[in-house]
Amino acid sequence: MSSLWISNARVIDPAAKRDAVGDLFIKDGKIVASLSAAEKKKAKKIDASGLVACPGLVDIHVHFREPGQTHKETIETGSRAAAAGGFTSVVCMPNTAPVADTAGTIQQIKDSIARTACVKVYPTGCITVGMKGQALAPIGSLKRAGVIAITDDGDCVQSNELMRRACEYAKMFDLPIMDHCQDHSMTVGAVMNEGVVSTRLGLKGWPNAAEDLIVARNAILSEYTGAHIHLQHISSKFSVEIIRRAKKRGVNITAEATPHHIALTDEACATYDTHFKMNPPLRTEEDRLSLVEGLRDGTLDILATDHAPHTDYEKDKEFDFAPNGILGLETALPVSLEILVRQNKFKLPFVIDLLTRKPASLLKLEAGTLALGAPADVCLFDPDEKWVYDAKAGFSKSSNSPWHGQTLQGRVKMTLVNGKVAFGHGKVG
């Protein structure tokens, strides 16, 4: 494998507290301190003046739809979208068809990853059989098959007793539980946030309490069992406060926010555009600001995209009937830079940390660092470049993005996975 020399970049590595203009050297797919004079002559040299070089981004919440829903996305197309967005490691959810509740399905997913993925893709397994919330999946078998966490994702386990048992097994097998926090009894027929906007639009509202109750339940069960529960895509102001209080007690919970929940509010639904329909729904400006503050003070640990592809014909329906979810991988970095760095004055290394070291450490992935000897997973981006995002020309198989046609600032120029170019010059591979 040839050597690579990235010169004159602003190298940001939160794991090493590095933030300085300098060079990055790669040999045999690993980060090295330097290259010999002879190696430098043979190395491919990239002048990264004006660019930021950071660890490849890490997303622990994506939907790649394979097996069974490949008309929306595949592991191949999803990983290409990830590479285009600067992501080198992603964790895919188990709500496939069939759902990933057996070792056989996990092996099928892993085989497809090995054949087709251009970034590192890690599978999760279900908490319950069929994601039906009635009986525990074979958690030990799933762990042996290679899952790195268990989750029922969009079908939150409603039984507190079953969730308690899941926590006990998860702790036994050293697996985090990732939970989509939703009390289904409070959201029947709901399609957007419950509030002034839903009343004005005549749409069934989805109260914050549906999230808050399960967040509180999970904090209690984590404290009771010691299991690590990761709370997915938090959207509610009161949920942030519940998490803040639980963390002060030392409860073993972590939580994520999405770029779309920190950027948008329920006012975006005013035109009935289904590209703004998601689960949990976009909430109020007060909720949005609480998420930003939660990221600032560490109550919310990371950013994750909840990349959820759907076809045009599925989204092109009345608001009540369209599926929830949007694309996220190719826009996560510029949206996060806009909201957190430019609007809320976060330091750039802090935001990079939310997208690299922190998510990698939550699930114990070998990622998120430029330390010597680490895999050479690198994202090179221009934080200032403005560009128009065309979702239909993107690398996902779907194009359901609220940012389609909008001008974004901050663009990925190159993504390296194990020292090889996964994305560069606008092309994958």
- Per residue of the chain (429 residues), give pLDDT as tens: 689 999 999 999 999 999 999 999 999 999 999 999 999 999 999 999 999 999 999 999 999 999 999 999 999 999 999 999 999 999 999 999 999 999 999 999 999 999 999 999 999 999 999 999 999 999 999 999 999 999 999 999 999 999 999 999 999 999 999 999 999 999 999 999 999 999 999 999 999 999 999 999 999 999 999 999 999 999 999 999 999 999 999 999 999 999 999 999 999 999 999 999 999 999 999 999 999 999 999 999 999 999 999 999 999 999 999 999 999 999 999 999 999 999 999 999 999 999 999 999 999 999 999 999 999 999 999 999 999 999 999 999 999 999 999 999 999 999 999 999 999 999 998
Of 227, 246, 231, nearest to 180 (Cα)?
Answer: 231
Token pair 């590595």 is found at: 13
DSSP 8-state secondary structure symbol assigned to residue 109 = H
- Which conformational region is residue 328 in: left (phi greater than 0), alpha (psi within -120 to 50 degrees), or beta? alpha
Q: Residue 365's CB: how many other CB atoms inside 10 A? A: 17
Specify whether the CB–CB gap between 9 and 53 falls below 8 A: yes
Cis peptide before 280 (omega within 30 of 0): yes
245 and 139 share a domain?
A: yes
pLDDT at residue 1, as a whole number: 61
358 and 380 share a domain?
A: no
188 and 260 share a domain?
A: yes
CATH code of the domain containing 81: 3.20.20.140
DSSP 8-state secondary structure symbol assigned to residue 129 = G
Q: Tell me how far CA of residue 252 lies from CA of 244, 249, 368, 381, in angstroms.
A: 12, 9, 21, 34
DSSP 8-state secondary structure symbol assigned to residue 308 = -
Domain finish residue from 336, 362, 388: 362
Token pair 């050479």 is found at: 376
45 and 62 share a domain?
A: no
43 and 116 share a domain?
A: no
Mark out the alpha helices in 71-155 (DSSP H runs): 75-84, 103-116, 139-145
Residue 237 placed within a domain: yes
Q: Residue 39's CB: how many other CB atoms inside 10 A? A: 15
Residues taking part in catalysis: 306
24 and 162 share a domain?
A: no
pLDDT at residue 348, as a whole number: 98
Token pair 């990235």 is found at: 6
Domain finish residue from 362, 384, 419: 362
pLDDT at residue 242, as a whole number: 98
215 and 298 share a domain?
A: yes
pLDDT at residue 2, as a whole number: 81
Burial of 400 (0-12, 13-18, 19+ CB in 10 A): buried
- Distance CA(413)–CA(425), nearest Å, equals 7
95 and 172 share a domain?
A: yes
Contacts of 242 (CB under 8 A, 6+ apart): 212, 215, 216, 219
231 and 310 share a domain?
A: yes
> For 275, phi and psi rounded to 5 degrees?
-70, -5
Question: b/e per residue, 205-215, with b = 16+ CB within 10 A?
Answer: bbbbbbbbbbb
**Token pair recorded at residue 258:** 């999405």
- Residues listed for the chain: 429
CATH code of the domain containing 14: 2.30.40.10
215 and 351 share a domain?
A: yes
| Total domains, the chain | 2
Specify whether the CB–CB gap between 169 and 177 falls below 8 A: no
DSSP 8-state secondary structure symbol assigned to residue 43 = S
Range of the domain at 404: 4-52+375-428
Token pair 């985090």 is found at: 176
**Token pair recorded at residue 275:** 């590209």
Residue 370 placed within a domain: no
